[in-house]
Structure 1
Amino acid sequence: MYDTPQRQELSMQEKAIITLLSILMYLGAACVSAEGSAKQRYLNPVFDAYNKVSNVVYANKFNAFSNQREALTMRIFEPKNDAELKRPLVILTPGGGFVKHDDNWMDDFGIELAKAGYVIAINRYRLSAGVGTPELFFNAVSKSVSDQRSVIEYFVNDNNDGNRYNVDLDLVFVGGHSAGAITSMFVAYTDASDDIPESLQKKFKEQSLSFVSTEQKKEFTIKGVVNMSGLIIDLALIDVGEPALLSIHGERDTVIRFDRKDAGFAATVIAEHVQKIGVANMLYVIPGGDHLTPADPLACPECIPLMKRFMFNKINF
């Protein structure tokens, strides 16, 4: 279902648009470091140190792939010696094609965002055998969506039991890279009014997933979504009035093309859709970047500043 389409050469117009977007977005990121001596929390590094807590169990769930119940864990980053009582929560889900994990993926994001004042949770999710068919893909997605939702539920429960992490549940951001980005867009944009394929609905029900309407009161508010090298299966999942979106994608990504519009829709196509319906959005196509570039701060030093700028704007909107 998700085999790589043959790469086509970009037209001169497409290259010009990408170059212009890249320059504008990079200049916006550069402004982060030019704010002057008065550093702003959530935009600049305002803490020198951070705390990291590893192997926090957020749920225990059965995984048919491993044929056992699994303790699902996350790593939580927060500023050290922070007196703020209501802090934005950022949930990041790494990639891995739904089939593999690493204990350190995206930790550099956790560190840099914590120094800017955020609370960050980077979660592991239940793995799957593969995603080579629609059925396998929907099976993998349903588990990862359920698991990211459980991370949110963990913090909702914590908020009702003393709020150990001092998070503001009206300032929740979800995001990730590749499989994690796909997961995050499902979590943020799927609601009861959406037309979901019957086979995916079945998988969601197997995971006891239900979706409320946009009018129903939630215990949390997702303010924004960070899509790095991801795709969405149906543009119609993103409706008017839904959370803002930041998409970062490599120009030379051969796993998921940045302009993909068959068997899923990627960054530039999503950006066109959300722009038409009035959903706040930012798009950055990394010149020469590949599939992994958005999640690698060494390869894309502007990516974390862009993410901070995006969230800062939504926090102060």
Structure 2
Amino acid sequence: MASEIEKSGTNKGTEVNSQTDRDMVMSANDKFLLDMPTFLPDYSEQEEYGYKNKPGRNLEELLRKSSKNHCMYCYSLLKNDRVNIGHLEHSIEKSLDELHLTECVPNIALACPNCNQSLKKVGEKKRIAELQEAKIEFETKLVCRGNVCRSECEKYKKLKKEYCRKAQIILQPSGVRGENSNLEYKIQYDVNNAEFIPDEKYQYDEYDLDYIKRHINRFKLNDPGIKTKALANFVEDVIEADGKYREQSEYPNYIVDLFKEKIRDMSQEKVLELCEQIYIRNVILFRT
């Protein structure tokens, strides 16, 4: 079993084996953390990718597969009944350089309408105005292969670095690394406290932590009344079913998929016990 339970205190960061997982009883000091993924599309050299028309449809299909059809920023399920929602979005706004960024494959992610059209746009005009010098440097002697690219070129990496200084967004796909620490910026979901946090496995410096927290705040991942209740709903359903659940059942956030991976090897009795503990803790948080 690939899952990991992280505990506070001296046991923090220690992997536990499947037997311990199955026999786990959470104490008041335990932490149950879900590792949110960095989305790394496996681009095919045989496919044509882009933003528009058939190349755009090809890329969208790949990104949906890479994220298991979830928003790459808030992790919400991009599906409404039988209809896929959400759309391609430009990591660095294409308005900064329409000519080169519009069809730049590594610059295109998958997002829900709220993240793309509202939350990510906050401060966009100011960012674009402040990045004009970086844009000029980006365009100077740029040899752009357009939608033939499958990875970030050096020019794009420099522009992305300047963009991230202004925006403090963990851009997708591929994510972002700390400018000084070079640590990958990762997020975890703290099941006990029903909130997203900077990944505790990494020794982030103050700048890194501030960056990740700003990203979390931008996309309102922990905002009261807005944050996802998907896991709370899942554990309630499991309790009502006496510890049973369907592996293929869909809930509106990726955290439920990750939670299912954690409990896959547990007995029905242990799943029920764990969900009851989580429910008791979470019900107070959501009521307040």
TM-score (norm 2): 0.25
Higher relative contact order (CA 8 A, sep 6+): 2
Larger radius of gyration: 2
The TM-score with structure 1 as length reference comes to 0.23
Query: Going by fraction, where is strand more abundant, 1 or 2?
Result: 1
> Hey, which of these two has a bigger chunk of helix by percent?
2
